[in-house]
Amino acid sequence: MIRKSFWILLFLSLFVNCATWERLTFPERWEWIGTARYKSVQIFVIDPTRDSEIEAEEGTKIRFPFGSLLGSDGNPIQSPIRIEISEYYKNADILLSGLSTASGQSPIQTKGMILLNAFTEKGVKAKPNPKNPPQVLFPSAFEPGYQVFYGTKTNEGNVDWSTETAKTSNVSKNEEGKNLIRSGAEERISALPSLTKNQSAQPTRGESMNMSEGMEASRSFYYPILNLGWINCDRFLYMKIRLLPLTLDVNHPTWEDETTYNLILPSIRSVMPSYKDPAGKVYFPNLPMGEKAIVYALKRSGVKRWQLWIRETVIGKEEKIVPDWELMGPKELERRIQSLNF
């Protein structure tokens, strides 16, 4: 009986720390193409009564200081907490997961994103303690201007990114985006500040908390996490040039169409979602004139087939743009998307 219990506990340990049930039973990811579930969920279990740190497969590190996660009653959770994280850093993963990088209908520059959630033993979703929040280190070199953006699902199904930790309403397609001008040089690197609702999250140096040994303190910057869910490492763009829209000669898709249109801006690593113009056409607003871009569209065609459309263009110099679809299976689709250079 003791031996049997040992093997059960060993299996559960491997199960929790190395793979999710979804990964064990569904090794093929093609069934989730176009959704956030294309990337597997990684699961960790932490003890919230002491300082903890996890490291995900692609290098994301998250610190959970004692008391950093609160329950529904607003008090620190005392029982084990299940942490779920998915990472979206590679270009192909962002596209194949149906994600984009825009804030208020304007492009933002991204280093990638994560989907992070925490649950109690009873399945109740935890929330960060604003006075002592968890912290995240993204697996990329620090650059001025980058900060944490939080994602909110719009009525149209896109994720709109904002530095605010709460939103009163979703962004409408009909709301015209504004030219976001913010200099990255204005961002200070300081110790972890006292943050309140709707305040921008600034990074803190790795050495400010002696929670783990062997940290590369001189180049490690942790950002406080004020909201769980979609978290992105982005920065606003300095656009001093004329901004133009790009309109495609195609009607904006409905939910039933299972079709998505995106515009990739390779030089700034941004993926714009599509919006609907007054004539019902697909368009992308607030684009820098003369910028090289890639139109990317994906449409499901049956259970294991997709139609893909990729076209290069230059903002302000394009002619009539009409879709030219290619039919392919999941392996060819993944190969084509992985070959996109941005």
pLDDT digits (tens, 9 = 90+) for 107-145: 999 999 999 999 999 999 999 999 999 999 999 988 889
Q: Taking residues 330-338, report their average pLDDT.
A: 94
Three-state SS for 75? coil
pLDDT tens track for 247-256: 999 999 887 7
pLDDT tens track for 278-307: 999 999 999 999 999 999 999 999 888 999
The rounded distance, in Å, linking the Cα atoms of 178 and 175 is 9
pLDDT tens track for 204-222: 443 333 434 444 443 568 9
Q: How many CB atoms lie within 10 A of CB 281?
A: 15
Q: The tokens of 38 are what?
A: 């294309």
Q: What pLDDT is attached to residue 150?
A: 98
Domains annotated for the chain, with CATH where assigned, are 2-235 (no CATH), 243-338 (2.60.40)
Q: Specify the amino acid at residue 296.
A: Y
Q: What pLDDT is attached to residue 165?
A: 75
pTM of the complete model beyond 0.75: yes
Is 141 exposed, middle or buried (CB count within 10 Å of its CB: 0-12, 13-18, 19+)? Answer: exposed
Lowest mean pLDDT segment, chosen from 11-15, 34-38, 65-69, 139-143 = 11-15
The rounded distance, in Å, linking the Cα atoms of 293 and 268 is 10
Hey, CA dihedral for 231, 103, 204, 75, is it positive or negative?
A: negative
Q: What pLDDT is attached to residue 113?
A: 97
* Sequence-separated (6 or more) residues with CB below 8 Å from residue 229: 115, 116, 117, 150, 151
Nearest C-alpha neighbor of 278 from the set 259, 240, 251, 311? 251
Asked whether the predicted pLDDT for residue 43 surpasses 80, the reply is yes
Q: Which phi and psi (to 5°) does residue 108 adopt?
A: -130, 150
Three-state SS for 5? helix
pLDDT tens track for 158-207: 899 999 875 433 333 333 333 332 322 233 222 222 222 333 344 444 33
The rounded distance, in Å, linking the Cα atoms of 149 and 137 is 14
Q: Please, are residues 162 and 106 in contact by the beta-carbon 8 Å criterion?
A: no
